[in-house]
Amino acid sequence: MRNKTPRAVCLDILNRMEEADCHPDQLLTDSLKRYRHLTSLDRAFLTELMYGVLRWRGNLDWVIGQFSKTPFEKIESEIVNILRIGLYQILFLTRTPVSAAVNESVELAKKTRGKGGGGFVNGVLRSVIRKKEEIPYPGETEEPARTISVVQSHPLWLVQRWVEELGVEESTKVCEANQQHAPLVLRTNTLKNSREGLMKKLEVSGLKPFATAYSEEGIVLRDPPAVSDLPFFREGLYAIQDEASQLVTAILDPRPGETILDACAAPGGKTTHVAQRMGNEGKIYAVDLTVEKLKWIDEGCRRLGVTMVNTIRGDTRRTLPVPEGTGVDRILADVPCSGFGTLRRNPDLKWRKGMEDILRLKDLQSSILNNLSRYLSPGGTLVYSTCTVFHEENEDVVEEFLSQHPEFQLDPIDKGLPEPCAPFIRGVYFKSFPRGDGMDGFFVARLTKKQ
């Protein structure tokens, strides 16, 4: 059916995520292109539903388990998703009529499993409505990690780890921060305009721009429209990039005329930022695995007016078609990681990834770092960065690398950073954490190759 409701489209997306390891952003984008009958309000509602269910899935599943006469693990996955959609509206969307949430959930269940499915969903949802103020969440007298896990909707293994490392109070704050909506942050394209000039244009367009606290090129939009409705995007006046991600380029501190190797470069946000900092003068080799990923970089460069980037298809763990050991002044190793610093933007990650992924990625990251080190000129700078918060993927990788490569040393991390970033300098590393500063969680190390 082409004219599906936002709730029906949301169910399709959630079901597809259950069937295959698909990224919700791409599924949402594909759905918005397919169901063009959806109004702007429908699109906003669909987006809120999808990300809301992913963000609060653990909490919703606990409630289902408390009010269903059928054990949770025996409920069919599609019915579980229908219940999640209905419950999210009932528990978290106060402006949505409860009757609409229940009735459409029941209709979706009937189409899936007939009258019996509809009756089951109706029974669970109406039971929750009757006892909404009496939902039996785990009490504080129980294991604190379990309480945080259920109430703040995070996997138990993750909360247990944070409680062990940070304590109960700090872990609660971290999980609460992860459940907030991430701000929409723009990075001014300084090749075409200044931050002040862009903010004035945005204000004239009826938006509410504010300068970011840490990045000198960043702009936060309060109450932004859908990304597809943002003005000046096609003209290339800015890129969409989190503030912490923008600071990685500041730490790299590229200079006009240099040769830069940007490994694992897609989708190209940092690549084009490096080009901006270089005034579009010099050479950047932007490397990634697939032709499709390189297309993203090329498209971003065209939109922003960047002309100095050479995209290269290659595996950063293996020999690359760039001059080895000569000519590369700086390397940006923004390596694949578990992404646990971006849970506000990617709430699905906490349900899809576990400790085994962190350990697997550590091996990949070490392999990439070891290989890239060969291409850096003596005296050059190598910046290692991730958007995760675990020492296995961060400090452990860097320290193991340094123990095997005496020709490298850690360089002061504050080089190139604006002064307000001092709170994020933890010893020899840059570390941000989504806990009140409004930025994603990032880790950055700056290394130099001895002369």
- Which residues are identified as catalytic? 387
- Residue 31 CB-density burial (10 A; 0-12 exposed, 13-18 middle, 19+ buried): buried
Rounded distance between C-alpha atoms, residue 369 and residue 393, angstroms:
12
Instruction: Check the CA dihedral 196-205-27-292 and report its sign.
Output: negative
Rounded distance between C-alpha atoms, residue 376 and residue 323, angstroms:
10
Q: Are the CB atoms for 172 and 186 separated by under 8 Å?
A: no
Rounded distance between C-alpha atoms, residue 336 and residue 397, angstroms:
13
Q: Are the CB atoms for 148 and 62 separated by under 8 Å?
A: no
Q: Are the CB atoms for 120 and 109 separated by under 8 Å?
A: yes
Distant-in-sequence, close-in-space partners of 311: CB < 8 Å, separation ≥ 6 = 265, 286, 287, 288, 294, 297, 298
What burial letters (b/e) apply to 47-56, b meaning 16+ CB within 10 Å? bbbbbbbbbb
Distant-in-sequence, close-in-space partners of 27: CB < 8 Å, separation ≥ 6 = 13, 16, 17
Is the peptide bond prior to 267 cis by the omega test (within 30 degrees of 0)? yes
